[in-house]
Amino acid sequence: MKSYLAELNDVQRQAVTQTDGPVLVVAGPGSGKTRVLTYRIAHLIEEGVAPWEILALTFTNKAAREMKDRIAKVVGDKANQVWAGTFHSTFAKILRVEADKIGYPSSFTIYDSDDSKSLIGAIIKEMNLDKTVYNINAIRSRISSAKSNIIPPKAYVQNEDLMQQDRMAKRPYTHEIYAKYMARCKRSGAMDFDDLLYQLYALWYKNPDNVLEKYRKKFKYVLVDEFQDTNYLQYGIIKKLVKFPGSSENICAVGDDAQSIYAFRGATIDNILNFEKDFPSLKTFKLEQNYRSTEHIVQAANEVISYNRRQIQKKIWSDKGIGQKVKVIKAVTEGEEGKRVADLIIEQKNRNHIKNSEIAILYRTNAQSRVFEEYLRRYNIAYRVFGGLSFYQRKEIKDLIAYLRLAINQNDEEALRRVINYPRRGIGNTTIDKISQLATQTDQSMWNSLAGVNVSARAKKSISDFVTMIKVFTNRATTANAYEVASYIARQSGLIDLLKADTTIEGMNRLENVNSLLDGIKDFVENDEVIDGQVSTDRSLAAYLQNIALLTDLDDESKTSGDYVTLMSVHSAKGLEYKSVFVVGLEEKLFPSFMSMETPDGIDEERRLFYVAITRAELLLTLTFANSRYHFGKMRYNDPSRFLEEISVTHMDSSFSLNRRGAETASVGAKVIGNFKKPRTAANTTLKADPATFKPNPSHEIQVGMKVLHLKFGKGKVLNIEGNNNNRVATIFFNEVDNPQRRIMLKFAKLQILP
């Protein structure tokens, strides 16, 4: 047996050596998923498969790097020749080569979320629509969802369900914004993140005989990590690549349905649950041994996830010892919760000799971090909040990058808008609006409209000087490497001088950030990258911009290194592990979120999120909740989360008992009380209205005295409404539930008005 195969358990080894045909590896938390994935690639290479014929798709650059490093330990430098990267980075690489076939330049710009929102905002303004009704984030989410479901603008208009939803939301022109947005992106030679998937699908759909066939022949083996997180579009791309007449269907999907937590981003659990329907000859391997956590933690996780309705059945187990029971902390207020957590961290550091970096505080929403930050600061405990402002989102960084983007692609309208008058050069908003209007009227880019715009002589001179400067930058970008060009642009644009003139601490920090960016570009220029077995010589500015456009927060090593307690949302914690984990804010309407409580599917996803949270813990798991906390400026009293009830007392170390009414019974002289009420089953959550005929009214139509229908609570009467606009909270009396009087935020309520 080859040495690397001897490192695997029996099921892992079977999953690695079953190289041909469709394979599904159901990998429980801490079960060695990455090892199986990387050793499978190494085994393919050892068996004679050319490394450049292997495509491995991940969700973070960090995961791709780790994969290559592990493969290299088995097969050496051949690991660098494997096509391993994120969906977005891999598809961007292909699009750079093939973009002309769908009408894009190879130097297309990649818009980040700010660019997309800016463009959508400009379109809403041009259409004279109410920006409070046509909320930019809502429109952007709508467009993203359409792309993720492969619905182009023309098909969107023909979809009566989508159009009806927009009419009910008082946003009937959403389809026009979508069409204009797509046209403007193409006019600007730009793609947003969704387009890197959407346009690749379009490329393959429109060019099946040449382009698609080329990549089918190129990639003989396809592997997908975190398969449960794929959306409809990603899976559609994968199927086009591997499922066709005569195909060997050499696809290996690795994932865990119990950790599918990104439905809000378009991911669908159906992809992994229904995988066998698409590939009937599928061989499935279940990795059920957990190498991360002790037995109490693993069994608590098993108990929780057993309440989900749709899942691939498995039983996770551990041989790392029984370990400590799950600790539960009840606090009266959120302030007490913060203090109790900080106290326990001090105790764990002293008693268990755990480092700050081995501790994580996980919460459902980012806003919960505040109270924990306050107490960690008071106790002088070093911490770092994960998910804050990314380095590449800082203003001074985005300003310089906009200049770099414009040097590569003059049609990039968002970059042009950002820097045409920064530093100030006498091209004001009125002039910029005229340029934009001319571009729209003539259906050309803003760059091509600069020469013909009707403005004052002074503004015309400023525009001419700006155009000349950008052309010089563009010429430099064709002959010099990325660092030389970026350094030149930083100086000649006036950005460096402007930052030097600000001698405040903030100003000096901004200058330091720009210098740090330039250092990063120098590092990019000096380090080699191997693509398809060849050392890449592309050190151009265009190559660098693509590289950083695809970075995510999870790739920022500075946020995960050093001796800091980590504070992050549970969504951000997926894939990470800590010796001690605190899952906080475990209250009904907070975790599970009140936005998920309308449907069984929503509760199932929240339960999977809780499952992910508790399986991050290796040795110590602490669950906390507060009886009261402020919400929208008012004190709110909450029941403990239903998820606490789903863990049996066998695995809990608690000083109280719970029941569904939220009444905690004090316990004297006993750490665990055994009168936990049996959790609600699916039968207990029967809907009181038929979803097929249920048609909720817009929230602004709900008024005091109305009779209404709610999917879960049934028929009710609106007794009172407090607050204004989007913050209206209704008190409603429902006849058909045990606790009839409910306070519900109307913008999330989904109520149907009854006659």
What amino acid occupies position 43? H
Query: Does residue 750 carry a catalytic annotation?
Result: no
Q: 372: part of which helix (H) or strand (E)?
A: helix 369-378
Give the phi and the psi of residue 721 in degrees, each rounded to 5. Answer: -135, 130
Residue 26, beta-bridge partner list: 255, 286
Contact criterion met (CB below 8 Å) for 602 and 394: no
Contacts of 16 (CB under 8 A, 6+ apart): 5, 8, 36, 39, 40, 43
Contact criterion met (CB below 8 Å) for 229 and 267: yes
DSSP reduced 3-state for 267: strand
Buried residues in 372-398 as b, exposed as e (16+ CB within 10 A) = beebbeeeebebbbbeeeebbeeebbb
Q: What angle do CA 175, 180, 184 make, to 5 degrees?
A: 150
Residue from 234, 259, 368, 566 carrying the catalytic annotation = 259
Cα 755 to Cα 751: distance, rounded to the nearest angstrom: 13
User: Residue ranges of the alpha helices (H) in 18-152?
Assistant: 33-46, 61-75, 87-98, 113-126, 136-148
DSSP at 598 = T
Give the residue from 434, 201, 225 showing the smallest Cα distance to 191. 201
Residue from 98, 194, 225, 413 carrying the catalytic annotation = 225
User: In angstroms, how far is CA 288 from the centroid of its own chain?
Assistant: 26
Cα 257 to Cα 280: distance, rounded to the nearest angstrom: 19
Cα 389 to Cα 660: distance, rounded to the nearest angstrom: 39
Q: How many residues are given for the chain?
A: 755
What amino acid occupies position 274? N
Can you say whether the dihedral through the CA atoms of 117, 122, 127, 130 is positive or negative?
A: positive
Cα 493 to Cα 498: distance, rounded to the nearest angstrom: 10
- Tell me the Ramachandran region of residue 571: left when phi exceeds 0, alpha when psi lies from -120 to 50, beta otherwise: alpha
Query: Does residue 225 carry a catalytic annotation?
Result: yes
Query: Does residue 259 carry a catalytic annotation?
Result: yes
Cα 354 to Cα 188: distance, rounded to the nearest angstrom: 52
Contact criterion met (CB below 8 Å) for 426 and 446: no
Residue from 226, 396, 413, 604 carrying the catalytic annotation = 226
Contacts of 749 (CB under 8 A, 6+ apart): 696, 699, 702, 710, 730
User: Residue ranges of the alpha helices (H) in 660-723?
Assistant: none
**Following DSSP, what letter does each residue of 139-177 receive, concatenated?**
HHHHHHHHHHTT--HHHHHH-HHHHHHHHHTT-TTHHHH
Helix axes 160-168, 174-187, angle to 10 degrees: 110
Cα 326 to Cα 340: distance, rounded to the nearest angstrom: 16
Query: Does residue 616 carry a catalytic annotation?
Result: yes
Residue 754, beta-bridge partner list: 707
Helix axes 113-126, 174-187, angle to 10 degrees: 120
Cα 405 to Cα 321: distance, rounded to the nearest angstrom: 55
Residue from 616, 642, 660, 750 carrying the catalytic annotation = 616
Contacts of 166 (CB under 8 A, 6+ apart): 142, 172, 173, 174, 175
Buried residues in 714-739 as b, exposed as e (16+ CB within 10 A) = bbbebeebeeeeeebbbbbebeeeee
Residue from 13, 33, 510, 660 carrying the catalytic annotation = 33
Give the phi and the psi of residue 745 in degrees, each rounded to 5. Answer: -75, 120
Contact criterion met (CB below 8 Å) for 565 and 361: yes
Residues annotated as part of the active site: 33-34, 225-226, 259, 616
